[in-house]
Structure 1
Amino acid sequence: MATKHTASSVFTVLLALGANVLVAIAKTVAAVLTGSASMVAEAAHSWADSGNEVFLLQAERSAARPRDDAHPGGYGRESYVWSLFAAVGLFTAGAVVSIMHGVSELGANEPEADYLIAYLVLAVSFVFEGISFLQSYRQARILADERGTGTVEQVLMTSNPTLRAVFAEDAAALIGLVIAFAGILLHQLTGQAVYDALGSILVGVLLATVAVVLIDRNRRFLLGEPAPDRAHRAVLAGLLRHPEVEKVTYLHLEFVGPERLFLVAAVDLVGNDRESDVASDLALVEDYLERDPHITEAVLTLSRPGAPALSPRALE
């Protein structure tokens, strides 16, 4: 089911894609004209980001497919696969290229560059990247306010890999532009091309760090990331409000996609109905839970005799 957050994620990716393509073209031209190692690294960075946005758009498209008999839990986890591809692309096409080029230029006698062109391109790139970053920041801030968390914490912990990737890549792009500017400026002031080469290497290290974090987060969600305590409390409270549920003795919530959860619970039903009636009652409660757009699939079973009840306060 498409939500306002999904639509916002798609817009964020499209904005980032447009900005990255324009910036990548400008940086490539500047790299050719100036011969700057830092500018080459920045061009590789932007082209890598542009390719990654395509993967992220596919992630949003794949995750939006409705569940079917073959995939009762939906296709949400596919978004983590495409986002993982994007993170690996950032590492290989961005980080590795930047570091290798910087290392190769350490001992080279780089000629005097047209610094004005480099500075103009960096300034324009900073504006475009800043616009894209502000959009991803606003989206993350809205979600953080809804959940009562910090913005950075929300980005790191969110089940939405697209938001995390765009936010991280845009933030890295802005930091990378500052590094490239410093490398080119030091080259101009000292006449030593080594600073430009070091700028390329530092940009590569920055991209590698971001890529490793994104790879690890997607890996965790593919393996099965449990929902946070606040989600457990909300679902448990909802279960206990249902007239057929007397107590809940077990509850497991696991992300199976962006903002989508797989629920397993053991419950004790009101009364002592026959087995056929119990099965019908459990199905009714499952249907009730799955009306929530965040619950992709709910599976309920009966509690073991004597099992202690869970309470929302106990989860705090």
Structure 2
Amino acid sequence: MTVILAFLANILVAVAKTIAAIITSSASMVAEAAHSWADAGNEVFLLIADRRGAKTKDARHPLGYGRNAFVWSLIAAFGIFTAGSIVSIMHGIQELSDTGPVESPMVAYIVLGVSFVLEGASFTQAMVRSRRLAKERGSSTWDFVLETSDTTLRAVFFEDSAALIGLAIAAGAIAMHQITGVAAWDAIGSILVGVLLGVVAIILIRRNIAFLVGATAAPKLRARVGTALLGLDDIERVTYLHIEYVGPNRLFIVAEIDLAGDAREHDVARRLRDVERRIEAHEAVETVVLSLSVDDEPSLEFARA
């Protein structure tokens, strides 16, 4: 729902900005139109990411299809955001030598104002959700958005943040053009919007690459998982723990454990499988693989998360 609302808002805003750009001949409005069309295109890729990543695991993909979400989000960040950035910067550079007056600036201000309201509504929804989830995990909102495996939420959060900042830049650039009569201010506004898009693109690209190549779990998540394992009656200690994201909010867990008691090998194998099934029943766990610890291996300790 978050992506769909953002997509509809971006389409309306993109059409309005495009019309305003034609009427005003403002470089900043052209950059903002490119920005919104890039955002709308990004939402399409995010919808594809959600759909492809939600497929259940099968024999060919025993860890599921969740990494599809990271792939499509990476394509969106690299292709759409980067394209919007290049268009905005190049157009701004071309318009630096323009000496024309501001045409119908009120049209630009009205469109920018309405866009700010629509983008603000979408950003508020993403912010509220991010704050709630960050609070549940004992993290700051900023750290949560950067570290979360929910690539859709992160993309919408940064997308809407950049949209609001870009609108302020465009309005300021047009105002300076109008006040000073120097058209370079408008062109500078276009360049700044392009730089902003480029920064957002780099952040999103880096985060998606990190998850695709197997980023290690954050210490707080590792502590929560380790504590949860030790909380099971069957597990006395944990000597090895590997946690990897295989999709948004989907974990692949490998652990070496010491089972309680001293049962026969046949019974131990059955107990291991039973513990695995119970762990995999958790909504955030895609697959778990458990093996037995050796007696002389040191136990892992987990700080309270």
Residue 4 (structure 2) pairs with residue 14 (structure 1):
yes
SS of residue paired to 1:312: coil
Match of 1:128 in 2: 118
Match of 1:150 in 2: 140
Match of 1:268 in 2: 258
AA aligned opposite 1:182: G
Which residue of the other structure, out of 104, 113, 132, is the alignment partner of 2:94? 104
Gaps of 5+ in 2: none
Deviations 1:221-252 (A, max 9, x none): 11112222232222222222333322211111
**1:184-199 alignment, distance < 5 Å:** 184-199=174-189
Deviation at 1:154, TM superposition (A): 1.1
Q: Distance in 2 between matches of 1:209 and 1:183?
A: 20
Q: Percent identity?
A: 55
Q: Tell me the matched-pair count.
A: 305
Match of 1:67 in 2: 57
Which residue of the other structure, out of 206, 216, 220, is the alignment partner of 2:210? 220
Q: Comparing 234-243 with 176-185, which one deviates more in the overlay?
A: 234-243
Match of 1:167 in 2: 157
Deviations 1:114-138 (A, max 9, x none): 1111111111111111111111111
Gaps of 5+ in 1: 1-10
Deviation at 1:92, TM superposition (A): 2.7
Deviations 1:54-109 (A, max 9, x none): 00111111221111111111111110111111111333321000000000111123
Q: Comparing 63-72 with 193-202, which one deviates more in the overlay?
A: 63-72
Deviation at 1:153, TM superposition (A): 1.3
Q: Comparing 222-231 with 201-210, which one deviates more in the overlay?
A: 222-231
- TM-score normalised over the length of structure 2: 0.96
**1:209-288 alignment, distance < 5 Å:** 209-288=199-278
- TM-score normalised over the length of structure 1: 0.93
Q: Distance in 2 between matches of 1:287 and 1:308?
A: 26
Deviation at 1:21, TM superposition (A): 0.3
Deviations 1:159-184 (A, max 9, x none): 10000000001000000001001110
SS of residue paired to 1:297: strand
The answer on whether the counterparts of 1:95 and 1:207 sit within 8 Å (CA) in structure 2 is yes
Q: Comparing 92-101 with 62-71, which one deviates more in the overlay?
A: 62-71
Residue 40 (structure 2) pairs with residue 46 (structure 1):
no
